[in-house]
Structure 1
């Protein structure tokens, strides 16, 4: 086959252009270490999705995790280091815990157990043989990414590899992550996730008082329990590294899984970036049985799931009977994530131990999502514009449920003996299914969620690249991270000014009294002279 000279030159030029592009891409790729030892399903989803997104942007990822990562990126690479026994240990802990009864546990005992587990997880990660094999190798990294979740000792990896530290926070700005980059603590108008404030804003005086006390207690727990214990574990492994309190403030960037459409808007320092919903994939085709079940739901369908950690099978028998009785009366079909056989199940309910949640929520016949109110599930329902009935259990779930109800795209039925009744559950379902305002609001909030200049994963990739490209982007860090609490809140200045005013008043008083006495004495003397 004959090829013209011009065509041959065009082919050479195209090949040269392709080679240049490949060289440029190779030059932009970075070696990134992701450290995510947390075994909870929602935490692993956030970690693995971010690592996959960065790999598909062309980076080379080393991913330390509790579970094997099986997805192959379309470009870049992912080397998975699975922590020995971490996933099994967490699953064992889940089986031994009754998460539905967690809100009845003693708060101090629960907190003590939680801190012990976090410190144990840090120690296991630092002592893991495969992790230490990595440390002994000549591998270099351009950035370390880790979750900000009571594991500050692991920030030592950024110190050991002399590279920028990037934090991923599973929610919005809060007391867990704000201090790491000096973000203002909005305790006067943003409720702490550990307290239940009213849906009406602003908070009442007593709610603000409770919020302030919660903030102070958390700071003391962090400073005098959490960080010292982590420091001890860290220096047993690495005696010559900095204190955890120093590592704590070394973050170059914080990626927040939040968005103003779902979270109260508040001030963010320049190196805090919201990427809420980055973990959500475009909907895929449903399995045949689910597709047919939903397509045939002429009156609509309800999706019911309590998330990845809570198991529907662990709901008390009394509440199961209430749920089955109420759902069985509905015209709508129901898909329920349930982990075992369910005797007495009504014909309109389909149960499965695992379900493709995002793809189900995308089906046009889904009218309602019954959920525990976890942030990932709440974000997915907002993404697809589906109203929710929340049954919150613990952690951030009550707050997420309150926000959904306040925004107008959901209702809440608390999981308590007093409130979880057939009447309350049925009334909430009927209201959500038949009052169009909830779906209209869910669709409006969904439009706000999608209305942003670029996709959240693209935002994450851009800012990670930015920090690497600018060697930690120290110009974005605010000066408050170098201040003590009393300097930040101007306590020393206020006390100085008050003391100065006090001294000034005393001086003025002294002078006035002195002058008054002098004048009075003079007047008295003159008066005596006149009377003589």
Structure 2
């Protein structure tokens, strides 16, 4: 028995790896998911180094931060403030392609700027650092794959959503437009014919966008910063070598889609067991006889930046509520009601776990919705961004959310929505059903993410799980070459049949003319005379 324990300890030590995490995002909520994975790997004994704008507040064992020293929260909040002033993101289907192009262009510029940051420059200029695994965000920052070539390391990509089309294409994962709605469209899970046409056209357009714009753009950025490395391959080749793609998705929140073995959903990996609330906060919530309403627009959105019209409507509705209200509000609140407690930050997962919490007022970020569903709390959504609107649309379909359009928010519409959630028990029952679906799995999302990451390390990049579609062009993967051959063969057959039919008709048109001419000659006088002479000649 002791020998087995020694062998197990030795094997565990052999698996310890040097892991580099590259997360230049300005979104704290996205950084939360990424760093949850990195902390999980550090807890397993791996030596973890993370480059981001959000370092850990306290030192962790086996975890080293390379701080980008930029105000990610401030920059992100400035962008969101302008969006809230316009009543949220109002751009939908007609402008989606242009907006996607603009977003990808902005992300490429941010990746370029990030690679000039001293934290990244420290890695670029270092000649003695070495890593076995590179973990990076999967959105539009593929230029960072140059680090995988520099260190000859395996790659794990982490997508902060259920998977953008160009991200899935980069690892060869199918997403058939016949029944998988685009993440950019407000389409139902059962699409009509016209919706499938629109979905298919967008799918082809995004494939062309990736092939002709995104990949060349990322390759240019990569060569700008890694061009000095010997044998640097094209960025598309580095994409195809990705060992593992982790998706921040779960069947409790997203429709079922086909996934390759090395594309693993780990939605909810940031979730943790509830902790003990701070004493003052616990006293406030415990003393609420009618329960508590919790309002927070998330880590990247400030309630203080809401338009005055929306803020005043919230204040008036909260002041008339029987419940106590806990509100993440970052400044002094004008005319603050007596039943409202404000603060710049609250331990959200612990607040949502309190048995007296009745409703969660949120902008609808994916992590916040996962936390609400995990605790079985119904949601009142005030979406600002496009992805929040799509998240809340699914939550409404699943029955645990009511949404109020920020651009048209009034005191009446807000009070009506809050009243529905407080009075109708079906919303809480639907939220509790989401909780059961989310929790009913053999491993926690974090345990699953760590296991697959270590699997990639044990099997040196997992080449045995890569799809053969990576060796095909996008036209071949869509069977456009087969369709073209079938169409060409069909057209050739039709042309040949038409040609043969025309020849037959031409012959048939000429045959009656010859017969009629012969009949006319036989019926003429000269013809009859000649025929009589022939008869006499034959009789002789």
TM-score, normalisation: structure 2: 0.88
Question: Of residues 37, 51, 56 in structure 2, which corresponds to 1:50?
Answer: 37
Contact 2:171 2:239 in 1 (8 A): no
Residue 246 of structure 1 deviates from its aligned partner by 2.9
Contact 2:77 2:302 in 1 (8 A): no
Contact 1:174 1:185 in 2 (8 A): no
Q: Which structure 2 residue ranges, 5 or more long, are not aligned?
A: 523-540
SS in 1 for 2:364: coil
Q: Could you tell me which residue of structure 1 aligns to residue 151 of structure 2?
A: 161
For the residues of structure 1 that align with 2:499 and 2:248, how far apart are their CA atoms? 60
Q: Could you tell me which residue of structure 2 aligns to residue 407 of structure 1?
A: 398
SS in 2 for 1:168: strand
Q: Could you tell me which residue of structure 2 aligns to residue 370 of structure 1?
A: 361
What is the count of residue pairs matched by the alignment?
511
SS in 1 for 2:24: coil
For the residues of structure 2 that align with 1:337 and 1:228, how far apart are their CA atoms? 43
User: Against the structure 1 CA distance between its residues 23 and 72, is the aligned structure 2 distance closer, same or farther, given a 3 Å change threshold?
Assistant: farther
Contact 1:34 1:62 in 2 (8 A): yes
Question: Of residues 5, 17, 21 in structure 2, which corresponds to 1:34?
Answer: 21
Q: Could you tell me which residue of structure 2 aligns to residue 7 of structure 1?
A: none
Residue 255 of structure 1 deviates from its aligned partner by 0.5
For the residues of structure 2 that align with 1:91 and 1:113, how far apart are their CA atoms? 21
TM-score, normalisation: structure 1: 0.89
Q: Could you tell me which residue of structure 2 aligns to residue 103 of structure 1?
A: 89
Residue 319 in 1 paired to residue 316 in 2?
no
Q: Could you tell me which residue of structure 1 aligns to residue 131 of structure 2?
A: 141
Q: Which structure 1 residue ranges, 5 or more long, are not aligned?
A: 1-12
For the residues of structure 2 that align with 1:139 and 1:238, how far apart are their CA atoms? 16
Contact 2:73 2:300 in 1 (8 A): no
Contact 1:37 1:64 in 2 (8 A): yes
Question: Of residues 56, 65, 68 in structure 1, which corresponds to 2:55?
Answer: 68
Q: Could you tell me which residue of structure 2 aligns to residue 228 of structure 1?
A: 216
RMSD between aligned residues: 2.5
Deviations 1:15-40 (A, max 9, x none): x6654443221111111111111121
Q: Could you tell me which residue of structure 1 aligns to residue 320 of structure 2?
A: 329
Residue 109 of structure 1 deviates from its aligned partner by 8.9
Residue 168 of structure 1 deviates from its aligned partner by 0.4
Residue 72 of structure 1 deviates from its aligned partner by 4.6
Equivalences for residues 33-432 of structure 1 within 5 A: 33-73=20-60, 77-83=62-68, 85=69, 87-88=70-71, 91-92=74-75, 94-95=77-78, 97-100=81-84, 101=86, 103=89, 114-115=103-104, 117-135=106-124, 136-197=126-187, 200-239=188-227, 241-416=232-407, 419-432=408-421
Q: Could you tell me which residue of structure 2 aligns to residue 475 of structure 1?
A: 464
User: Against the structure 1 CA distance between its residues 378 and 487, is the aligned structure 2 distance closer, same or farther, given a 3 Å change threshold?
Assistant: same
Residue 177 of structure 1 deviates from its aligned partner by 1.8
SS in 1 for 2:453: helix
SS in 1 for 2:327: strand
For the residues of structure 2 that align with 1:176 and 1:370, how far apart are their CA atoms? 33
Residue 524 of structure 1 deviates from its aligned partner by 5.0
Deviations 1:361-407 (A, max 9, x none): 01111111110000000111111111101110013100001000001
Contact 1:178 1:184 in 2 (8 A): yes
SS in 2 for 1:350: strand
For the residues of structure 2 that align with 1:362 and 1:289, how far apart are their CA atoms? 16
For the residues of structure 1 that align with 2:463 and 2:215, how far apart are their CA atoms? 24
For the residues of structure 1 that align with 2:501 and 2:210, how far apart are their CA atoms? 51
SS in 2 for 1:402: helix
Contact 1:391 1:413 in 2 (8 A): yes
Tell me which moved more, 128-137 or 260-269.
Answer: 128-137
